[in-house]
Structure formats: C-alpha cells, structure tokens
Amino acid sequence: MSVLGRIFISGLGWAFAGPIGGLIGWWLGGQLDQSNFGSGFQTGSNGSARPSIGRSAQTRSGDFAIAVLVLIAKVLKADGKILKSEVEYVKQYFIQAFGAESAQEMMVLLKNLLEQNYYVYEVAPQINRHMQLAEKLELLHVLFGISAADGQIDPREIEVITDIAQQLKISTGDFKSIQALFVKNDHQAYQILEITSDASEADVKKAYHRMAARFHPDKVSHLGPDFQKMAEDKFKAINQAYQDIRAHRGF
C-alpha cells in the first residue's frame, strides 16, 4: 500500500461512503487490494469501499483531505482552464499537510476527479452531516487560496465558490470575511471582522473576540498539526485586522 493509502485508510471515516465514497471508489479499491486492510471493509452498492464496523462521526484528516479534493476539482474547472499556478498551489498545500510523496499521489487522485462529472449539491449534504462550521470554513479558505493563486480571482471561480459556500450553509458574513483575505480593498480589515467601517469601538472589540473564538486553530486540532497550522493563517489575519483598526482609530 502507498504512503497516501496508509494515511487515508487510517484517517478516513465518513468519506468512505455516500456520494464522496463513490467518487473515490476506484482509487480506494486499488489501495485495499494492495493491503491486508481489505478484509475489514465492505463494498457499497455504488462500488465504493466502506468500513464494515461503522464510521467515525468526527471528521478525520483523511475525510477533510478528500472533501478538499472533491471541491477543489469544481473550482479548478470553473473558468474552463486549469492554470499551472493553481495546480502548484494545490500541490504545495498537500505537501505541507502530508509530505511530498503523498502529495504527488493526491494529484493523481485530483486528476481523476477532474475527469468526472458531478455537482456540488450531490456531495454537500454529506459534508454538512459530518463537518463542523470551523472545518467547513477551513475548506472555504483553501478554495479561495487556490482561486487567487495566479494573483487574481476569476468571476466564474467566485461563482462556484459562492455556490459551494451556500450549499455548505456558510453565512454571507463568514464568506466575505474569508474572501477579504484574498481581495484587498480599503475596508479589508472591517470585512475580515465582519463589521462595517462605521462600527463603534465597542462593536469592533466585540467583533474581534467573536471572530477570534470562531476561527481559533484549536477548533480543527483533531485534523492534525499540519491542518491546524494552516488554520492559523486566518486567525493571524483576524488579529492583524484588529490591530490595524486600533492603530487607525487610536484606541
């Protein structure tokens, strides 16, 4: 079994089954055939492998990685072309999370997903059933990072990411807050904190504490230290936005 296979077999829970399990069934079946793990799994009616002893309710690192790949494929195809800069961003993301060898294998899995036709509404309910808000916000963070990898965000990619956010029941405020990390403007700091530029000092402080609690990296600690480290980017941006507003207003 490959390095990636070992990671996912030990780190997959709910992604084994359902629509997402069906999308990766071809790959997962090959991994199970190469190992002794196969005896512990059954094949679902859609051809996907699934645990024979039940799935974990909590999202594991493998579940998160598969969900990212499934959604990444939709964003990459949004504008009708796949840029080298976007592919490199995806690769570097997974190198940071899983190491170079596994990242290379994940790119093979992504290539297959890019060749499949499926809709966000088909996989979103499965993600919503098992992922907490903090995990879904990290998914959105990754998708915006990919879209902005070439220095600009194509309107068609924004449209797909907006659809994904709506399907994942992410609020407009949270969406705009994460988008503000990648689209700079005069109100960026306020957008990151999900407030307007005329907010009172008390409201600014309240918003900061609310956002800091919502996006604290500890909320995704169960996904592993690498994913937790990625979540720190948003947390740092919240702190920086608050400090920028304080400096500008003098409080």
pLDDT grade for 47, boundaries at 50, 70 and 90: very low
Residue 58 CA to residue 76 CA, distance in Å, equals 28
The 10 Å CB-count burial string (b at 16+, else e) for 72-98 is bbbbbbbbeeeeeebbebbbebbbebb
Residues 157 and 181 occupy one common structural domain: no
pLDDT digits (tens, 9 = 90+) for 173-205: 999 999 988 887 778 899 999 999 999 999 999
Instruction: Tell if the pTM clears 0.75, that is, is over it.
Output: no
Residue 82 CA to residue 134 CA, distance in Å, equals 28
Residue 152 CA to residue 127 CA, distance in Å, equals 28
Are residues 234 and 141 in contact, defined by beta-carbon separation less than 8 angstroms?
A: yes
User: Domain of 40?
Assistant: 1-170
Residues 196 and 220 occupy one common structural domain: yes
pLDDT higher than 70, residue 231 = yes
* Domain total of the chain: 2
- Choosing from 148, 170, 192, the residue where a domain stops is 170
Residues 204 and 162 occupy one common structural domain: no
Residues 179 and 165 occupy one common structural domain: no
